[in-house]
Structure 1
Amino acid sequence: MVDGDQLLRGRFNTTLRVGLGLIAGAAFVVLVLRDVNLAEVSDLLQRATLAPLFLAVLAFVADFLLRAVRFWIMLGQTTGRSLPLGPTIGPFIASFGMSDVLPLRLGDGFRVLWFSRRFGISAGTVLGTMIVERILDLVTIVILGAGALMLAEVSAPAALMRNFQLVLVVALAGGLGMLFVPALLSRLFERLFRGVELSIASSLLSALKATSAAVLQVGSWRRIAVLTVISLALWILESLVLIGAWLSLGGSPDHLLQPFVAFAFSTLGTLVPSLPGHFGAFEFFGVQAFALVGVDAQMAVAVVLLAHVILWAPTAIFGISWLLFGAYERVQRPT
């Protein structure tokens, strides 16, 4: 049983994390808007054309369907079982929608719980699959961002350029390092709690071992190569949302690398604690990347805001709708 002190500490830690995210997100919003003429931003948004936005939404739908298929492939590889594709798509997308409206990425916890109960898979295995998924996302967006940054015409000071290059290096190193974290933690816990009968410790150790096994199971070179190609494809699809917003607001079709660079760094910015839906961090890093390639601040803010709404609203609406009307799918017994 959990005693009162542990419960209070848990509540305090949760409140602290939510509070820090809100403060950081609000600070990012202030930094973005402090030197921007909001009237000009509003005027730009009112002149948006619909055709590029329609294509952006289609690309986003294709992106998330491909993400769901990738997770289904990875989960099947990890478990060695042939899982049905249909029942995985709805809850997979809904988990992102929940994280878009709730703090602490609670949608991730929902995904672990739902797939564990629905398919009779251990929570550690689902979590391990999600870790590899996030590593693939991080590594591929870094590759795309680095490539776009090398090809784009940069008009920023050398010091700012070095900062962006450092972000790429740190993100890549962090993503690759995550592959080894579950295995290292499981070994550490084995040594710390050897011979100690604690239900919480044994449960945590079992989860870490299952996570480590899932990482190793997914991580063969051939499988990683296939999954990397899929990951590159889905990130290119998602980048079309920001490119669509750029074209909708009058951006030049001859300078598509500019919104692509902004997309890469705004996406990496979502790793930083912020408001639910990554509002604040997404805008700040996207606007800074636009500045790096010489785009006007008002145009940058308008494009990033418009793209963020397209990236946020569909999954948020789907997540809420699935919770309200898809309850029949949330069975408790394994298939």
Structure 2
Amino acid sequence: MKTDTVGPGDVTPAEPAIGTEGRKDRKREIWKLIPGFGISGFFLWRTIRGIHYDDLRALHLVHPVWIVGMTLFLVGSYTLRIYRWWFMLRRSGAASFAVCSRVLLTSFAANNVLPFRIGDFLRVFTYANDLNASSSTILSTVILERLLDIFTLLLFLVGLLVHAAHALPPVLVRGHSLNVLHFAEPVLLVVALGLVLLLFGASLLQRMVEALVRRMPGGARTEKVQRWALLLFDSVLKLSFAGRMFLLVSSVAVWLCEGMIFVSIARMLDIAVLPRGPWLAVTLSNLGFLIPSSPGAIGVYENFCKAAMTSQGAAPGISGLYGILVHVVVFFSVTIAGGIAFLAHRVARGAATRPLRDDLAELPSELPAATPPGIS
């Protein structure tokens, strides 16, 4: 928030009020963080409570050659993510692949260390000029990116459980035992239907939204919802049929590479587990990001990873250490890469001494009015 410049000797009645309001805002932000950190603390406790010193001693680097595989799949996974995002943006005249790489890695790093998905806001607003695209267009690609990832992870989960419905322990709901597959299948069906309609029926959805909005009472909020929805459809309509199929295929490739990171670490440590274990781990741990928690889903990620490996025969203590190690590898690799990209860019544009909080303070508190499709 920008304020009028006041000279050193100037005193205005508004100053105390602004300070009080600022302190209230900071307190509200702190209170918003507490539930997330509480959830993370609970799941982290569940992860480490079964780990003993003997488990730590039993963990050895048995097959170091798998470090090479882990590294290659890690690089491949994030290279594919960057290319997929650049592919979505290029029809809008987006910047080069290198710029998209820097922005996306910076966004991931910020999401890992800052609350409230700040990295996504940086990607949409702060770096819009760098990407040579409007904030509206970038936001539509972020939404599509999320839908593709959730669809692919649910597809993996159902595929892993369809021939092994009892691979994961049942969930108890009011005394009734329900299998995880019973939850995953209908959710996958809904997400798949929505994604297929979005990718291959965007023009139909666009007309339906326009008809629905015409029946709604007018107003700024209704107009904003309409414009954001139309922008999402417009970003899809700019892609050819082959381009939309590529998004599906590339999303599967992204998560196959991510899964192989989990497999590589399990092989590297020679963990006794069924082949399904690492694949269930990558699926459940990343779906765990849907649960509100601390930045980086610390605790949630490890706990779901442990649950998946334990269900496939791995010892609980070893499974907990495995989940922590996998998260450390992925978390620190992406955060360090994004941090380096962020700092290098700040140095290059002469803003190395500008505090990061100044950049964050310039982010809007809400989504601005979207520009209609076709207008940059």
- Out of 124-133 and 51-60, give the one that drifted further: 51-60
- The superposition leaves residues 160-209 of structure 1 with CA deviations (integer Å, 9 ceiling, x where unpaired) of 771354145436635755877x9799988887773x5x6x8866764454
Higher relative helix content: 1
1:168-317 alignment, distance < 5 Å: 169-170=186-187, 173-174=190-191, 177=194, 194=218, 206-218=227-239, 221-252=241-272, 255-317=274-336
Amino acid of the structure 1 residue aligned with 2:38: I
- The superposition leaves residues 240-287 of structure 1 with CA deviations (integer Å, 9 ceiling, x where unpaired) of 1111111122125x8322211121111111211122211111112122
Amino acid of the structure 1 residue aligned with 2:67: L
The alpha-carbon distance between structure 1 residues 21 and 190, as it changes in their structure 2 partners (threshold 3 A), is farther
Question: Does 2:162 correspond to 1:145?
Answer: no
Question: Does 2:139 correspond to 1:127?
Answer: yes
Q: In structure 2, what is the Cα distance between the partners aligned to 1:302 and 1:38?
A: 10
Using CA pairs under 8 Å that are at least 6 residues apart, name the structure with larger relative contact order, 1 or 2: 1
Q: In structure 1, what is the Cα distance between the partners aligned to 2:33 and 2:237?
A: 33
The alpha-carbon distance between structure 1 residues 121 and 106, as it changes in their structure 2 partners (threshold 3 A), is same
Q: In structure 2, what is the Cα distance between the partners aligned to 1:321 and 1:85?
A: 17
Larger Rg: 2
Q: In structure 1, what is the Cα distance between the partners aligned to 2:57 and 2:304?
A: 23
- Out of 130-139 and 282-291, give the one that drifted further: 282-291
| Contact preservation (8 Å) 1:114, 1:330 | no
Amino acid of the structure 1 residue aligned with 2:57: D
The alpha-carbon distance between structure 1 residues 228 and 45, as it changes in their structure 2 partners (threshold 3 A), is same
The alpha-carbon distance between structure 1 residues 186 and 39, as it changes in their structure 2 partners (threshold 3 A), is farther
Amino acid of the structure 2 residue aligned with 1:210: L
**SS state at 2:280 partner:** helix
Deviation (angstroms), 1:15: 3.7
Give the share of equivalent positions with the same residue, in percent. Answer: 24
1:13-32 alignment, distance < 5 Å: 14-32=29-47
Q: In structure 1, what is the Cα distance between the partners aligned to 2:25 and 2:55?
A: 42
Q: In structure 1, what is the Cα distance between the partners aligned to 2:209 and 2:41?
A: 34
**Residue aligning to 2:372:** none
**SS state at 2:128 partner:** helix
Where in structure 1 are there 5+ consecutive unaligned residues? Answer: none
Amino acid of the structure 2 residue aligned with 1:272: I
Q: In structure 2, what is the Cα distance between the partners aligned to 1:318 and 1:154?
A: 39
TM-score, normalized by length of structure 1?
0.81
The alpha-carbon distance between structure 1 residues 330 and 142, as it changes in their structure 2 partners (threshold 3 A), is farther
**Residue aligning to 1:321:** 340
Amino acid of the structure 2 residue aligned with 1:50: P
The alpha-carbon distance between structure 1 residues 86 and 185, as it changes in their structure 2 partners (threshold 3 A), is same
Q: In structure 2, what is the Cα distance between the partners aligned to 1:277 and 1:173?
A: 27
Give the alignment partner of residue 112 of structure 2, picking from 96, 100, 110.
100
Q: In structure 2, what is the Cα distance between the partners aligned to 1:329 and 1:221?
A: 39
Q: In structure 1, what is the Cα distance between the partners aligned to 2:193 and 2:278?
A: 27
Amino acid of the structure 2 residue aligned with 1:166: F
| Contact preservation (8 Å) 1:154, 1:293 | no
- Out of 185-194 and 11-20, give the one that drifted further: 185-194
| Contact preservation (8 Å) 2:305, 2:323 | yes
| Contact preservation (8 Å) 1:41, 1:301 | no
The alpha-carbon distance between structure 1 residues 320 and 189, as it changes in their structure 2 partners (threshold 3 A), is farther
**SS state at 1:117 partner:** coil
**Residue aligning to 1:39:** 53
TM-score, normalized by length of structure 2?
0.73
Q: CA RMSD in A?
A: 3.8
**SS state at 2:65 partner:** helix
Deviation (angstroms), 1:325: 1.7
- The superposition leaves residues 12-47 of structure 1 with CA deviations (integer Å, 9 ceiling, x where unpaired) of 76444422211111111112223x033133224454
| Contact preservation (8 Å) 2:277, 2:309 | yes
**Residue aligning to 2:363:** none
- Out of 48-57 and 165-174, give the one that drifted further: 165-174
